[in-house]
Structure 1
Amino acid sequence: MAAKATHGSEPPVGELLRSIRAHPSRMAEQLAVFAVRHRGPRAARHVAGLRAGHPEASQAELVEAAVEHARRVSVGEGSFVGGPFIWLVPFAFCTALLEQGQLILELAALAGKDPAAPARAAELLVLQGVHPDVPAAERALAGLPAADDAGAGPPKKGGLSGLGGLLWRMARLLGLTGEGTDPPPPRWRVAASWAALGLTLLVGMVVPLVWLPYMGVSYAKAADRLADRAVAFHFGGAGRNRPARRGLHPGVLGATVQAVFSVLLTVGAVFGVLLAGLRIGDSRWPLLLLVVTVLSTVVGALWYRRHRARGGRGGRDGRGDGRGSGR
């Protein structure tokens, strides 16, 4: 894995993506090794913070606090897709995958295991449904290229075809389509999930932020399914004592409001151009295309800047949020 960083800082996701693009068929294994190496220590700190901040909490309550926190972070960090920033989709998906990996590592730590131990990588692959059992996962990990060679080799297919293949692998691994669940979903449901994801990306090219509520719901469901499997794996099938959820998750509700505002803003701009009778030459279409493109870019950039600024004030590190994770 190409992942060098100074102590205390996380290696750039871009380095991980370069390794994945060099060996796309080994994406899941590279992500697992990267997650254990760089998210394992963070998972240990976060679990220590949870225990220190909730000394009276039961094991089941600590598990739910970790799951809820992972759900919030993955929704916030991984939902920036579509719009004029289509090239950021792999970064968003990769970040969400690392957050899912950290959740699995935190649950392992709550079960008394070392989240930074190399053995966790094989377990992560099994829980993600990549391999049927730990021995098979260990054999796959043994065949990974060395860290110095992770980005070597002939260049892989680029352009839209290469990007599409990478997004397909990531979306499947994220659980956005429900594949890999037990029992497996009907084919029509898988096809509908892929269609919804593709439509979200396409519409987001014109109307920014419409993907936020869809991705928020998808990540929340995926985090719950992954947590159920991890709890059954690490705690002997005891299952989760999941509290009943009522109404929309606050993050999803906020994303819905932003999406509605984005739609109204775009529709209002289009109607404004039509009512004013503005044209470029003898046609309205070039002006409409220009207005929608500029508006989408500006709104997307402002949201992304605000989102990153908010993310910079807090982290998933146990040093700052151990006591707040159970909210």
Structure 2
Amino acid sequence: MVAAVVMVFVFIFCTVLLFHLVQQNRYNTATQLESIARSVREPLSNTILKGDIPEAEAILRSIRPAGVVSRADVVLPNQFQALRMSFIPERPVPVTVTRLFELPVQISLPIYSLERSANPQPLAYLVLQADSYRMYKFVMSTLSTLVTIYLLLSLILTVAISWCINRLIVHPLRKIARELNDIQQQDLIGYQLALPRLHQDDEIGMLVRSYNLNQQLIQRHSEDQSDLVMRFPVSELPNKSFLMGLLEQVVTRQQTTALMIVTCETLRDTAGVLTETQREILLLTLVEKLKSVLAPRMVLTQVSGYDFAIIAHGVKEPWHAITLGQQVLTIVNERLPIQGIQLRP
């Protein structure tokens, strides 16, 4: 695709350049013809005014064609051809080239009398015609050169543009693809790509930043979902799954601890008595009371709607556990004011 686009644009460039060079050569040829015509205009004017045809022919023969002039004509104002002098034999030129580049190149220079008059009229016109075959050879030489330039320039630009695309686009994308392909399964969520050094503010940099941002959002959402899965609704206490994980750690580490189960039947019995809001207030109040008697190292979990479990880290003696149980019973048996209602758990 890159090569096709490059070839089209280089072809247009070479075509424009070809016509420009041919037009410039036409202008130079016309300038030379005009210079030659002006050099013989005065003597030719005298001979035409005298009607001396042999002298006029001699003047035309004195023109040095220098490979440029192929024919010289003297045409009267009534379009009658008075004289014609050929300098170079005409050689065939393809009709397509003749029409395309408007060959042959010729100029028409009026010849006036040397005597000044109020309304000067040309005595005749000197028409000089350039060699069409010489122009044809120039066109073909220029065309062959431009074809060579076209092929070389297309090759160079194709290689250069392809190298730049590979360097700036393909290689960074390939590196990102390989990096994503090599991500371990456990590192997939929240993985952050390294921002390429040369792509801080372009589309590839935007792609990397968008991917990293999306991964951060996915990781945050996953963490929130994990927290919701591992916590009990309303109270936001660790649930039974979290409790089992903690107990496995305790067993694995062979730690000495105490496990205490607290059942609050009031939470179960008030299901049809209190409103949902009142039951939530009751639950949160009870949770706060239980937390108030626990040490910072101890963990309070909720395993059901009305059952709680306490992992009492640091309790090594049975009497420590008994004392903690009595404190829990005391705090649980206190009256709970719930919107004007005194409840005893």
Task: Work out whether the TM-score is over 0.5.
Answer: no
More helix by share: 1
TM-score, structure 1 as length reference: 0.19
Higher relative contact order (CA 8 A, sep 6+): 1
Could you say which structure has the higher strand fraction? 2
TM-score by length of 2: 0.19
